[in-house]
Structure 1
């Protein structure tokens, strides 16, 4: 992960705060503010091993009950005061009941809800968190497996905005000693899975682009939607377009477009 020591960094939704603690200790940004969705009591009760006190002991601000989709949750955060905002392995919280699941998924799919979360993260970061005169970068680190790769992260999240997708680089967890990637709402960490850090800015000519990889699935030999290919010929690509995977992705995209049309 590309971290400049002069940057002021905000981490979003860092469950047990182990990522923030490792970032602060081993990468030493100019400043760090860490946030979690849980209350402090829930955080301490949920994770037997956490870095809440570790960060406080190092005078690192920790904001609890920080919901990146709700402006009321970050009213105490100084506006436009960061260079970089990071969201590690985001996923919507587990539903508390079957009734809540039915209510929230009445018109949309869980796929759409996760895309909404990440879009809120990007839009709110550029409108409220990032300094107009700073580096102005957003990172989302995610996994290259289902269901995460079905969110069409490189193309769908910033659609119809002034935000530009710049590229990606591999996330090396070994560069963050002590960081545990947690299951959502559980005191267990998942086995190491290949992570990819995706990068956005509202400066399409940002200098960081020279350190990033471009999207792999852009030309006619690939299916950008499904992130597959290259295909040997047009017949193979047409065959792919009739697969269940491709049809599912078309359905996700249609639901996503309905959400965007309502904005």
Structure 2
């Protein structure tokens, strides 16, 4: 992840605020707004080791109870005042019980894609400045369930927003940043992360450090990240595989959601 020192940045869903604090060591408070989903009380109770007070003491703006799926949260930020929005290792919280899960019709895979689609859509609609690069960044792990969300191809279908490419996330570039499990006061082992980038304006030519993975090329299966298929027999064998059928189910569920979506 390469960040221009002139950019105005908004972080979202930064659980313990350690990523925002790492950015505060690189950017002045006039260029950084941090936000978390939890209330201040929940944040302090959940994460004993957090950066809330450190950011406040340095007079950085921190927004609590910021829900990326709700327009009202985005409207708390001055309209069209941000250059890049960053969402680190997003994942919907676990359902507290089976009854809660049964009360909604969407699969967990679809719910995670919906979270990220709304994040990208609302960021562009409410806060990203058309005079700037208009970047949305999602850093995610390259393991299940994250790699099953088809991030590159599925999130912006029907939106005038483009996937530009991705780059390796180097946690060593952000001093003090610790990755946590969702809803748990526990750091997780550093795993390889990938930062994916979208924009309604900037082109990939303007960000040469980004690359597009091979599985997005022709003769590949993009949502399985498989290929190239050297023969029709190879392609048919993949189509009949358990992995492809599982990913096809996720894809079909997502397409059904998009047909019913109202933005």
- TM-score by length of structure 2 reads 0.95
Which residue in the other structure is 1:67 paired with? Answer: 67
Per-residue deviation at 1:182?
Answer: 0.6
Per-residue deviation at 1:73?
Answer: 2.9
Q: 1:209 aligns with which of 184, 207, 210?
A: 207
Which residue in the other structure is 1:167 paired with? Answer: 165
Question: Is residue 2:119 matched to residue 1:124?
Answer: no
Matches of 2:98 and 2:217, distance apart in 1? 42
Which residue in the other structure is 2:245 paired with? Answer: 247
Equivalences for 1:76-115 in 2 at 5 Å?
76-104=76-104, 107-115=105-113
Matches of 2:42 and 2:153, distance apart in 1? 35
Matches of 1:2 and 1:260, distance apart in 2? 32
Q: How large is the Cα RMSD of the aligned pairs? A: 1.5
Equivalences for 1:41-60 in 2 at 5 Å?
41-60=41-60
Q: Give unmatched runs, 5+ long, in structure 1.
A: none
- SS of match in other structure, 2:25: helix
Q: How many residues align?
A: 261
Q: Is the 8 A contact 1:6 1:29 kept in 2?
A: no
Matches of 1:15 and 1:243, distance apart in 2? 38
Q: Is the 8 A contact 2:74 2:122 kept in 1?
A: no
Q: Give unmatched runs, 5+ long, in structure 2.
A: none
Question: Is residue 2:147 matched to residue 1:136?
Answer: no
Which residue in the other structure is 1:19 paired with? Answer: 19
Matches of 2:232 and 2:217, distance apart in 1? 13
Q: Is the 8 A contact 2:137 2:197 kept in 1?
A: yes
Per-residue deviation at 1:26?
Answer: 3.6
Q: 2:178 aligns with which of 157, 180, 186?
A: 180
- 1:166–1:180 CA distance, 2 compared to 1 (3 A): same
- TM-score by length of structure 1 reads 0.95
Question: Is residue 2:37 matched to residue 1:37?
Answer: yes
- 1:204–1:7 CA distance, 2 compared to 1 (3 A): closer
Alignment deviations for residues 43-99 of structure 1 (CA, whole Å, 9 cap, x no partner): 011111000011111111000000010122343221111000000000011212221
* Larger displacement relative to structure 2 (13-22 or 53-62): 53-62
Per-residue deviation at 1:231?
Answer: 3.4
Q: Is the 8 A contact 1:112 1:256 kept in 2?
A: yes
Matches of 1:148 and 1:165, distance apart in 2? 17
Which residue in the other structure is 1:150 paired with? Answer: 148
Which residue in the other structure is 2:198 paired with? Answer: 200
* Larger displacement relative to structure 2 (140-149 or 23-32): 23-32
- SS of match in other structure, 1:133: coil
Matches of 2:117 and 2:76, distance apart in 1? 22
Per-residue deviation at 1:228?
Answer: 1.8
Matches of 2:245 and 2:145, distance apart in 1? 15
Question: Is residue 2:236 matched to residue 1:238?
Answer: yes
